[in-house]
Amino acid sequence: MTSKTAVAGLVRISRPLHPRIPRTSLPRSQRASLHASPSLQIVKPFILSDVGEGIDQVLLCQWFVQPGARVAQFDPICEVQSDKASVEITSRFDGVIKKLHFDVDDVVKTGQALIDIDVNEEAAEKLEAEVNESPVQSGEQTPFQSSPTTSSAKEAIEDTSPTKRPMSKNFASNGSLATPAVRHLSKELDINISEITGTGKDGRVLKEDLQNFASSRKSSSSTTAQSVRPIPTQSGEDKVVPLTGIAAHMFKTMTKSLTVPHFLYTDSIDFTQLNELRQRLNSHQNTLDPQKAIKISPLPFIIKAVSMALESFPTLNSHLDASDVNKPKLTHKAAHNIGVAIDTPSGLIVPVIRNVQSHSISSIATEIKRLSELARTNKLAPSDLSGATFTISNIGSIGGGAVAPVIVCPQVAILGVGRARAIPAFGSEGELVRREEAVFSWSADHRVCDGAMVARAGELVKSYLEHIERMVAGLR
């Protein structure tokens, strides 16, 4: 006999009411079975909360749990990736996983249920409050309104064994532990990641595992090809690749930039004196503490020089609101929050160095190192990726000279830095000298910036970098 109670759209199922049986009437093994740990009794949906920054959907990268698994508070449930960063979702309650609502690589919208979890009454009330605050998307049935909920609750009562269940075939094939960057690489190498035995922590598949697998496969195919070389009969098939994660975010951002009338200004900067100073600074740091020394590249000097120039040209450090073409608004930003474009295995990411006007050259170098390490491991927080007032793209770290960078709305300007190259030049007395020069390419929004403004700002940055003593004199 079973009693049911309806609570806020749920079916609460109490423990079976067994008739009283004399203790001595059953063997010991049967008496023990009557005391098996009961289910937590309430099955609730675990809702994907708002991840911030106006993000309304994420890509499910991997599951860390499976149906039947018992989890504690703060245990990882899954990993999701938004347009900007990768985030681990952790459990806020103790309970038993009853159902996974999505597969790996599915898109999950804010307010949708990720899992059904069997929890105690207090935790259920908290989850119910979250459901009321974050309604499920229209047109989709909530997990606790459908009849299978009753079945799930019954399963929770019937199956109370604490032993782990074997991983399902679907989980094994789609839920291999790997970072988004490794998954991206597996797609490029056309490798089914479920075939790889990971050597990382908890069986996590590493980049080296994919490379070793690809090398062994290539070696095997080469041996076969030497014996039989079939003539190809077709060139292959086209493949449709959906844009997700960072690629999708870049598509949206650059589409908005199509409305901006760009103009380009370029100039060459002499890095000779700057590089001599850098070499002395790096040598000095190595003598003090080689292990803690951070190698200073030209980029921290460039960022600081731009910040100093923005003091004189505040329009370049602005946000433009052009939603109403009859009443556009330009906001001069007090803080110099400079975004630095970084190339990662997952794509282009632009973390932000905040309040550059208050940083020293050394502290800027330290911040670049910190953000670069987080970006390449997909561990940047949403706050690290928002609020930029000006952007610098150091494309020269890869190659190239002049470039036409694209403005990121609502910013009004961006600077692209090319690779420094050694060139022959004439000295002050006509002698032939060796110089190191890089091309600086400025793009600006011609609706609020004119060529003279950008040229003057560029000349000021040039004077700071070619005559370091002027930058030192202007530091605060």
**Which of 302-330 are b and which e, b meaning 16 or more Cβ less than 10 Å from the residue's Cβ?**
bbbbbbbbbeebebbbbbbebeeeeeeeb
d(CA 291, CA 285): 10
Q: Residue 78 in 3-state DSSP?
A: strand
Note the Cα 232 to chain centre separation in Å. 40
Considering 101, 262, 446, 467, which one is annotated as catalytic? 446
Tokens of 222: 């080469």
d(CA 466, CA 456): 15
Q: Residue 358 in 3-state DSSP?
A: helix
d(CA 25, CA 455): 97
In angstroms, what CA-CA distances link 468 with 180, 289, 384, 473? 42, 25, 30, 9
Tokens of 233: 């009969």
Considering 50, 103, 105, 450, which one is annotated as catalytic? 450
Return the residue matching tokens 């950008």. 454
Note the Cα 128 to chain centre separation in Å. 30
d(CA 32, CA 85): 50
284 included as an active-site residue:
no
d(CA 336, CA 389): 6
446 included as an active-site residue:
yes
- DSSP string spanning 165-221? PPPPHHHHHH-----HHHHHHHHHTT--GGG----SGGGPPPHHHHHHHHHHHHHHH
Residues with catalytic roles: 446, 450
